[in-house]
Amino acid sequence: MPGTGDALGLVRNGNYDGRLDVLTSTEAALDYLEMQADQWYEGDLMLSLAAYNAGAGTVNRALRQAQSQGLKGDYWDLSLPHETMQYVPKLKAIATIINAPEEYGVSLPEIQVDPAFAKVKLAHAVTLSEASQLLDVSQTALAELNPGLLNGSIDPRSAQTLLVPEEVDTQMLAQLSQGGNQASESNQAVAQNKLCQYASR
């Protein structure tokens, strides 16, 4: 939600929405779950997940009500909206199955261990159209990897990292990171080393 994103420091303006950015939104969501668990629920992630779904106010009221009835106040003691009472068990079930699929007769697709994208750190503004031409990658593919870019361009004042398909040539990535200008061999090497570090994270 906008207010939650703002509280977590996600940039949101007419050009960029950090809530839609694959990297920043994932990191913020994980930070939010841990922060809520520590702040309100003595580290109880199940209650934090419930609050993520229903809102902290709803969970906190249910928690106080349960405790007033002499209950401990863990997730299973609470009377929460139906959606939330289904939400947390579903997450736990999915995690359990993924952890040991053979025990449940489930065959999961293989997940590639290698990164699916590379991260390019930019110090200059660039449009997805320009990046597409330089990298020989479709503009649609770049837009799908970077949904936080609302007007088809990246401005380092809002976001500095552009996600690109992993298979893009590293020399082209180095050129993009330097503004599309031809750089000296030493500068190219430094840029390529940095880009390889980003891609391996």
How many Cα atoms are found within 13 Å in the side-chain-facing hemisphere of 116? 8
Q: What is the DSSP string of 100-124?
A: -GGGGT--PPP--SS-SEEEEE-SS
Residues whose CB falls within 8 Å of the CB of residue 161, separated by 6 or more in sequence, listed in order: 23, 119, 120, 121, 122, 198
Q: How far apart are CA 153 and CA 97, in angstroms?
A: 40
Q: Which helix (H) or strand (E) holds 163?
A: strand 161-165
Report CA Rg, the chain. 22
40-71 pLDDT tens trace: 999 999 999 999 999 999 999 999 999 999 99
149-184 pLDDT tens trace: 999 999 988 888 999 998 887 778 778 887 654 433
pTM equals: 0.71
pLDDT score at 80:
97
Give me the residue spans of the domains in the chain.
2-104, 117-200
Q: How far apart are CA 57 and CA 4, in angstroms?
A: 13
Length of the chain measured in residues: 201
